[in-house]
Structure 1
Amino acid sequence: MSAARIRIGLHGAMGRMGLRLIQLISEDPRVELVAAIDRSRIGEDAGVAAGIRPLGVPVRALEDLGPANRPDVVIDFSHPSAVPLIADYCRREKLPLVVGTTGLEAAQQQALEQAAAAVPVLASPNMSRAVNLLMKLVSEAASAMGPAADVEIVERHHKLKKDSPSGTAIRLAELVMAASGADRLVHGREGQVGERTRGEIGMHAVRAGDCPGEHTVLFALGGDTLELTHRALNRDGFVRGAIDAAVFLAGKSPGSYAMRDVLESGC
């Protein structure tokens, strides 16, 4: 007998990521969508909204969820301002929470930390397996090259992205800092800025067109350079990673988890 599918609640269901999640959840035999949560398109069938077959799952506001559409895991791709609301809901209802929303401020991060004391929480600026492998390689390169390398990070996203730099770029910079001893970020350069100083990481954000995401970390030494790049061709890598994270998180103990835990688990 096959295992029961994991019941997914999707918060931010009518956004770009949410609609693609609905499509790919419907194709994944491990999971099923039981709750599509949003403030827009209330009452519309989530499958129809996503351009696929009717799923029998109407879009609902969070406060309208009941026992019949109670999920096993919630995936959030909403807005930073909505993260404390869904974190509090999951904490009260004892539901695991996967968060892919980026641009979180300190209070919103704190809401996730409070939730993680009661339920399993996995929050990542990027759910892509390939990006998380990039993070591992960047950390190893920064450790091997140490402070001798000049490090520049360039990220490119579509023109509708609201936060800058991207959460992934910030995380890459944090990894370089931890591994190499670099201690400050320089966001772009203009005018007479003087010579590059030791211990800085250059950070550059490009916003243009419909690019779903591209990150390059440049390590420059005297005489040669190393560039590590991830390029998203569409959003599917992020979406599939979020589904993998939900499968991983179901049944876990309370606490904070990371995508590296998903990668190591083989989900």
Structure 2
Amino acid sequence: MNTTLAITGGSGRMGQRLVALAHADSRLHLVAAIERDGHAALGRDAGEVAGAGPIGLSVTTDLPAVPPAVMIDFTAPVAMRQWIDVCRRRKIALVIGTTGLADSDHKLIDDAAKEIAILQAPNMSLGVNLLFKIAGEVAKILGDDYDKEIVEGHHRFKKDAPSGTAMGLAEAILKAMGKTRDSLVYDRHGDDVVRKPGEIGMHALRIGDEIGRHTAYFAALGERLELTHVATNRDTFVHGALKAAKWLAGQKSGRYAIADMLGL
């Protein structure tokens, strides 16, 4: 039986590819492509908006009367907060790819996950989530004798910095080493910024049409290890999100991550 699916932000960069690839997936049945009130795409065929040709589904502002099994949200934190409430009330499993979430948003997700299944990830790429696992293991083995820096790059239009993926990478390293975010240092500048033992530097580049590049550096005097993931096409995130939606359908209530889906 196909998994019924709704996509929020259906006319955005990610939304359009989600619509196109979800429609092409024989194991998914797209029942809603949603946009905010007043959006220019409202009423248009979602497939045509996505450049995939007509699919017989119009862009709307709300869900159909019969709720889907799963919703995928790639919008903004303020919209995510509204949709998580809708999913909670209508018992819809939720895949959250929205970034720039605050601590209060994660608390909201934790609370909602007591009633519905939620998979939230700062990056839906399977390769990135494997990078999180590897980086944590490397950090634990090398310890504070090795300097650690994280550098991320994205396109000029990205709003938040550091990226959610960079923070996910940092969290993996912090957790593995038993540290807190107090160890993070952002974009050093000034006359005296000599590295302090145990700190982790965070740096963000915003350049052209860069889709996503993340590197974790581990360096000592005499050697350097670099772990890098480069996204060459947004479809890598889309495939991950759609895989997550199919996996999440039917799961019991709780908060999940890509690592759970991959068995990491």
State the TM-score bracket (shorter-chain normalisation): over 0.9
Partner of 1:105: 102
- Mapped contact 1:151–1:202 kept (Cα < 8 A): yes
Distance 1:107 1:194, change over 3 A: closer
Name the counterpart of 1:45.
Answer: 45
AA aligned to 2:84 is A
Across the aligned residues of Structure 1 and Structure 2, the Cα RMSD in angstroms comes to 1.3
Gaps of 5+ in 2: none
1:153-185 CA distance string (max 9 Å, x none):
000000100000001111111111222355511
How many angstroms apart in 2 are the aligned matches of 1:194 and 1:119?
46
Partner of 1:82: 79
SS of alignment partner, residue 200 of structure 2: strand
What does 1:113-262 correspond to in 2, within 5 Å? 113-181=110-178, 183=180, 184-262=183-261
Alignment of 1:66 with 2:61, yes or no, is: no
Between the aligned partners of 2:32 and 2:193, the Cα distance in structure 1 is 55
Q: Cα offset for 1:243?
A: 0.2
1:188 to 1:59, Cα distance in 2 relative to 1, 3 A: same
Deviations 1:172-230 (A, max 9, x none): 11111222355511111222224211110011000010111100000001211100000
1:175 is paired with a residue whose SS is helix
- The residue number in structure 1 matching 2:55 is 55
CA contact (8 A) 2:22 2:242 kept: yes
Q: Output the amino acid matched with 2:30.
A: L
Whole-angstrom CA distance in 2 between matches of 1:182 and 1:148: 15
Shift of 1:48: 0.9
1:67, distance to aligned residue in structure 2 (A): 2.3
Q: Does 1:35 align with 2:35?
A: no
Paired with 1:193 and 1:44, the residues of 2 have a C-alpha distance of 56
1:28 Cα offset (Å): 1.4
Q: CA deviation at 1:43?
A: 1.0
- What is the letter of the counterpart of residue 97 of structure 1? L
Letter in 1 for 2:202: M
Instruction: Tell me the TM-score normalised to structure 1 length.
Output: 0.94
Query: Which letter does structure 2 place at the counterpart of 1:81?
Result: V
Separation in 2, partners of 1:93, 1:260: 26
Matched residues in 2 for 1:176 and 1:124: separation? 16
Percent identity between the two aligned chains: 48
Q: Is the 8 A contact 1:155 1:216 kept in 2?
A: yes
Aligned length: 259
The alignment's TM-score, normalised by the length of structure 2, stands at: 0.95
Distance 1:77 1:25 in 2: 14
